[in-house]
Amino acid sequence: MPDFALSFDEFVLAASTDSLADEPAAREHADAVEFRLDLADDPLEQLSAYDGELPIIATNRAAWEAGGASDETERLLTVETALEDDAVAAIDLECRALDGSVAAADTETAQQVRTSAREAGVPVIASIHDFEATPPREKLTALLDRAADAGTVGKLATTAHDRGDALALLSATHEATAAGKTVATMGMGAAGQHTRAVAPIYGSAIGYAPVEAAEATAPGQYPLATLRELVDGLATPTNNDV
């Protein structure tokens, strides 16, 4: 039986999909599968029938954060049910659901699911998305601190409009990881696409890519094989590098 344990001490490349039937095609390049329950047909049935090798990150993205799940409480309880499956090695919960900063969120249930995950020893990715812009550097740092404090990994995806936005995001990533935070960052859109390959050098713990380009779940994603090649091809600096 596969070992589905997942640690974010090293970079994890997740293949994003709404069908676990894609898992065999992802094995060559991915370290995990991000299963988008909110976009999937019969997601819990897919989980119960899963016989793949890669650990699963279960994401049931809220409609208020550009996902496909409209019933707030039901979607969170579905994530809690998914935790019962041995293959689910991490879950993604919106940071704004966990801290109650969005009126549409069911914060009590979100916190309940986080507690269930912690009791089961399953890491929680606390995610924040900005589909409009990239905030200033100081705001990025504050957002990463907030997300990292809310989960095992703090995930921040912003929309980059130029190289300055990309640089600010990479700088905030470096600052957060230097402070001992576990974070995952990515710039969405064309101007931020390269950050998906470069951010791991600055400490980003997770990357996301579709198995096929046409199945991208966020703007600016590279195909899975391309991102694997780019990340692996970039040298990671050490403290001894000049």
Residues annotated as part of the active site: 129, 155
35 is in an annotated binding site: yes
Q: What is the DSSP string of 126-171?
A: EEEEESS----HHHHHHHHHHHHHHSSEEEEEEE--SHHHHHHHHH
* Dist. CA 208–CA 122, nearest whole Å: 19
217 is in an annotated binding site: yes
Task: Count CB neighbours of 28 within 10 A.
Answer: 9
Residue 174 CB-density burial (10 A; 0-12 exposed, 13-18 middle, 19+ buried): middle
Residues 26 and 17 sit within 8 Å (Cβ to Cβ)? yes
Output DSSP code: residue 62. B
* Dist. CA 69–CA 173, nearest whole Å: 29
The residue assigned the tokens 């020893």 is 121
Q: Residues with Cβ < 8 Å from 199, sequence gap 6 or more? A: 169, 170, 173, 184, 185, 186, 207
The token pair at 141 is: 């740092």
221 is in an annotated binding site: yes
DSSP-derived 3-state class of residue 76 = helix
* Dist. CA 127–CA 110, nearest whole Å: 13
Task: Count CB neighbours of 108 within 10 A.
Answer: 11
List residues forming the annotated binding site for 3-dehydroquinate: 34-36, 61, 196, 217, 221
List residues forming the annotated binding site: 34-36, 61, 196, 217, 221
